[in-house]
């Protein structure tokens, strides 16, 4: 799929493990500032105060979106991802229009005065030849904004929620902080933030587990189901941060595998370990069965995560 490869190559230079590792100190600084603001409070919605702003600030800084515009992005991106079941259901068309208009103005501004950010680099690439059309520029930037807004927030909040619900595992993590990398992998497997892979189509007639798929049939992979497959994982319903090598599908697979995975992993590691370092006695502020999950079939996470600090 050459078109896809061309677009992916243009963006991927900003997301290599080396580039991402260079952002470690800045991500830590953002996490620390957000945690400072929570000091002295007894009860917070962890999503509002921490899990949501952290990845947003990071992706907006990568793209070059000014801090004061971030709140609008939350509304626009939520409207698009939650669709007709969400809080902004009635205004989806209006929000999408506002989003596209905002991007148009921003692109025009950066065309005149390019800055040192990813949108400017993509615009320059567009102008240097036929590498990125105007339409593709909208597509790529929207995809990054939405991916940056809607996924890592759930990694952080699902992670804190799951650890608070498994005190033995949280205790282990506090005793052995180096387990954080493995803990993030297990959170991704156990409570993966994205429900479905991107669409695939059967390349040939095939039978899978008694189900016939005809060449050309749409195949949607439910990632969380695959990640709880007892043929693949021992005791899949056990949350175990010491699990041996865990080849989960939370970031998808193959040519579409998540481009932001190194960034998401780093943000997850820093956010979750910094939160428990700062508030080691925190606990869930509600009964687990009262947590309300977000509507829609794309991302998996709760609407609010009340935590007593
Ligand atoms: C925990 C956080 C994240 C999860 C669980 C996640 C998961 C996924 C999944 C499941 C896919 C589809 C893979 C497939 O169909 O095989 C995907 C694609 C993608 N993700 Fe992520 N993602 C996360 C964070 C991010 C971030 C932070 C970015 C960038 C800022 C990002 C950018 C992308 C892009 C650009 C694609 C499309 C890749 C392609 O089609 O070639 N993701 N992601």
Q: Is the pLDDT of residue 155 over 70?
A: yes
H/E segment holding residue 207? strand 206-208
The 8-class DSSP code of residue 22 comes to T
Q: Which of 292, 298, 163 is nearest to 306 (CA)?
A: 292
The third-level CATH classification (topology) of the domain covering 2-193+259-302 is Cytochrome p450 (1.10.630)
Which string of DSSP letters, residue by residue, matches 33-70?
HHHHHHTT-SEEEHIIIIITHHHHHHHHHHHT--GGGH
Give residue 29's pLDDT band: very low, low, confident or very high (50, 70, 90): very high
Going from N- to C-terminal start, the domains of the chain cover 2-193+259-302
The pair phi, psi for residue 284, each rounded to 5°, is -65, 140
pLDDT tens figures, 267-296? 999 999 999 999 999 999 999 999 999 877
- Taking alpha carbons only, the member of 38, 51, 71, 75 closest to residue 301 is 51
Average pLDDT, the chain: 88
Verify whether ligand 1 is closer than 6 Å to residue 147 (CB atom). yes
Residue 200: its H or E element: strand 200-201
Compute the average pLDDT of residues 111-134. 78
For ligand 1, say whether the CB of 253 is within 6 Å of any of its atoms. yes
Measuring from atom 9 of ligand 1, which residue has the nearest CA? Answer: 251
User: Which residue, 164, 180, 194, 147, is CA-closest to 271?
Assistant: 180
Confidence category of residue 5, pLDDT binned at 50, 70, 90: confident
Ligand 1 touching residue 148 (CB < 6 A): yes
pLDDT tens figures, 254-271: 888 898 999 999 999 999
Å from CA of 281 to ligand 1 middle:
33
Give me ligand 1 centre to Cα 284, in Å: 29
Mutating to test ligand 1, I would choose from 258, 262, 265 the residue with most ligand atoms within 8 A of its C-beta, which is 258
pLDDT tens-digit readout, 51-104: 999 998 998 888 888 888 877 887 787 777 666 555 655 677 888 888 889 989
Please indicate whether residue 260, judged by its CB atom, sits closer than 6 Å to ligand 1.
Answer: yes
């Amino acid at each position: 799929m050459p078109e896809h490869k061309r677009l992916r190559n243009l963006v991927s230079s900003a997301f290599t493990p080396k580039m991402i590792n260079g952002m470690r100190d800045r991500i830590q600084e953002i996490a620390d500032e957000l945690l400072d603001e929570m000091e002295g409070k007894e009860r917070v919605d962890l999503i509002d105060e921490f899990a949501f702003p952290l990845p947003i600030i990071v992706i907006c800084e990568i793209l070059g979106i000014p801090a004061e515009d971030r709140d609008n992005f939350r509304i626009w991106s939520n409207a698009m991802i939650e669709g007709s079941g969400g809080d902004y259901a009635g205004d989806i068309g209006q929000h999408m229009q506002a989003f596209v208009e905002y991007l148009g103005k921003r692109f025009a501004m950066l065309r005149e005065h390019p800055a040192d950010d990813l949108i400017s680099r993509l615009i320059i690439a567009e102008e240097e030849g036929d590498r990125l059309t105007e339409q593709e520029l909208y597509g790529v930037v929207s995809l990054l904004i939405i991916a940056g807004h809607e996924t890592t927030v759930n990694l952080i909040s699902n992670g804190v929620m799951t650890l608070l619900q498994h005190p033995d595992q949280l205790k282990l993590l506090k005793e052995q902080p180096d387990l954080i990398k493995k803990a993030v992998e297990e959170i991704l497997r156990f409570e993966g933030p994205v429900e479905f892979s991107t669409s695939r189509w059967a390349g040939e007639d095939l039978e899978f587990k008694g189900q016939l798929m005809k060449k050309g049939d749409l195949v949607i992979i439910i990632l969380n189901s695959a990640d709880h497959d007892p043929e693949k994982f021992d005791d899949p319903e056990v949350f175990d941060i010491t699990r041996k090598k865990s080849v989960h599908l939370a970031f998808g697979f193959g040519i579409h595998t998540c481009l932001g995975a190194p960034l998401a992993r780093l943000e997850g590691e820093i956010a979750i370990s910094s939160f428990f370092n700062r508030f080691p006695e925190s606990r869930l502020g509600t009964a687990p069965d009262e947590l309300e999950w977000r509507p829609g079939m794309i991302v998996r996470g709760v609407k609010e995560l009340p935590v007593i600090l």
